[in-house]
Structure 1
Amino acid sequence: MSTGFSHIESKAEHAVLIGVITGDQTDELAKEYIDELAFLAETSGAETKRKFLQRVDRPNSKTYIGSGKIKEIKEYIDANEVDVAIFDDELSPSQLRNIERAFEIKVLDRNNLILDIFASRARTAHAKTQVELAQYQYLLPRLTGMWTHLDRTKGGIGMRGPGETQIETDRRIIKEKISLLKDKLKKIDKQMAVQRGNRGQLVRAALVGYTNVGKSTIMNLLSKSEVFAENKLFATLDTTVRKVVIDNLPFLMSDTVGFIRKLPHQLIESFKSTLDEVREADILIHVVDISHPNFEEQYEVVNETISEIDDEKKKKPHIVVFNKVDAYNPKPDEIGFHPDGKKFALAELKKTWMAKLNADDCIFISAQEKINIEEFKQVLYDEAKAIFQIRYPYHNFLY
């Protein structure tokens, strides 16, 4: 049985993107959110034709957006050969059905799109199993909408017809599949736990951060390896572990899956074992893309997610690495902004609020341009050495 998640075909589908502006959210922030959705759509292979935003007190319980906006988008869809409508929030099963009836094209929500991207990016058996589990968990409450083609054969009040019978059959099959996938993941997780144990007592550092901030580029730079890296969201799904040596001090570094705003809870649940690398790390290296217009919120999203999965976070050395300083453009109202438009020098960046975050160290680098890498290595070396000396007090003389 297919999960029905091959949504974005090899031929680029034309998409409209839809979001809402609620509460005290600014238009600028809403634009950031819809631009991120466009990046997600592009990563999945879709071409964005137009973005729609509507300010509402709260989303419509039936169609998420108002009837007037539904009509406006429908007219655009009919006039421009649009293949798919993508919403920037999770839609309830009933909202999904109602919107599909109104638009008469495929409708995806943010969660569905992210799951689709994860499915296309999964390479190992572990990642594929995790994604498949998340897909089935997402699909289970939405089965009814998949059987609307049987409307004409439904019965009366209780809809006792062949459609309902098929839904119940599929629901049972999916529940069995979820159970089997969970059992399979438990076995893989045990194998991975043994592998982690077999690495001995080397100091372990974990790269964490929002998706597409340059973690894999940093991993390649420090470990002199070739971890897959590209300018797309979720380029890395499987945790990669490499040995890094700085001044004869060896330690392990892991590159973990990137986080994102509103990451589907099914994925967080399924990928908990992958995130064991974060829990079991001795040092957390939080990479931030300082060139992103909304990097402050990205920083907070990652912090909150890590706090959810790692109870020991506060007890570990925590290095914040502001990456891509070569592309950083300060906001006009930012303290220290140069009126003539010049960029901050490293010395000036170290005087900003960013250098005073609640972390053990804050470093400013460009992994791509190899800016300030030696200072980063020194900070990492000092943190790893301190842990090594506690773990192996009799080896102090070597360092």
Structure 2
Amino acid sequence: MTVESTAARKPRRSAGTKSTAGKTTARKSPSTDPELVQLLTPEGKRVKNAEYDKYVAGITPEELRGLYRDMVLTRRFDAEATSLQRQGELGLWASLLGQEAAQIGSGRATREDDYVFPTYREHGVAWCRGVDPTNLLGMFRGVNNGGWDPNSNNFQLYTIVIGSQTLHATGYAMGVAKDGADSAVIAYFGDGASSQGDVAESFTFSAVYNAPVVFFCQNNQWAISEPTEKQTRVPLYQRAQGYGFPGVRVDGNDVLACLAVTKWALERARAGEGPTLVEAYTYRMGAHTTSDDPTRYRGDEERQAWEAKDPILRLRAYLEASNHANDGFFAELETESEALGKRVREAVRAMPDPDHFAIFENVYADGHALVDEERAQFAAYQASFATESDSGSAAVSGGH
């Protein structure tokens, strides 16, 4: 498998959405994408932007190669985790395939003293914050509730409850402001989460208290099987206007644009100018999670249009055209990528099997009769498998 492979199955039937009359209407084609901040075209050509160029003006060839390396290794890790889930080593996995530029660009825009509140798909941001990728896998294997100390990297544990991390981030940012600290907070969420009341409340509180927080929405077009047009009647970034703070839409497959726009938003926050909503317009190339089948709700033509906008391929094209990277660099990265995949496989297979009864622990501080009853029922259910296995073995033995 190459480091640039998308590693996802092709959809089998065309996409569409049902109208109230029961008729199927085609989704808007990505060829008619709305205007957004873009510094690097899908073909890898650098374009000027008077407002945001200054935030990447001093970037060096080495730093550009670093962004490329980040995206490639993050994709390799993600592909390995997906494979491990298919092999039964993980219970579930939420892939970031296609969203590498949004995560690496925004992640590299943060400072060490900034604080990050992720959802459950921010593997690239975790990489930028120095979290060992193998630590992300314990929760998905069911052997821990996180796997890292949030304060070691200023990177909060993954949040499964949709949208709640935006409130956590807002409260933390309000505390940062009261402490007079020169740092900012960034909260990640998806287009589907933007419909949650928690997100609306966080917008209200952050605006009223002028909290130093950046809301980074990765609009990957699908909230599981629900398209964005079923979530909102206006572009997501415009929602910020109603709360009294700025919103901006950025090409989420352009790592340079994501880096520049997020730097701008974080600097606003640190300067006491309050919150910002950044909508990274991107696409989820794979399934929502490994329990999802995207072929049931979207089609080939949509995915193919977005494949042409692959964030890794566009930066590679720019690196090659600018003579900022040679074949040796790409070959070394391929070797590093394979080594990372091997390390991830070995780390997961060295983890213990999940404790099936851990789900009943720590629900109540002093225990609860209903939990005790459920634990006993589950124990009997588990024991039934051993009994059936023993009976089968006895029957086989008796037949000889």
TM bracket, shorter-chain basis: under 0.3
Richer in strand (by share): 1
Tell which has more relative contact order, 1 or 2 (C-alpha 8 A, sep 6+).
2
- With the length of structure 1 as denominator, give the TM-score of the two structures: 0.25
- With the length of structure 2 as denominator, give the TM-score of the two structures: 0.25
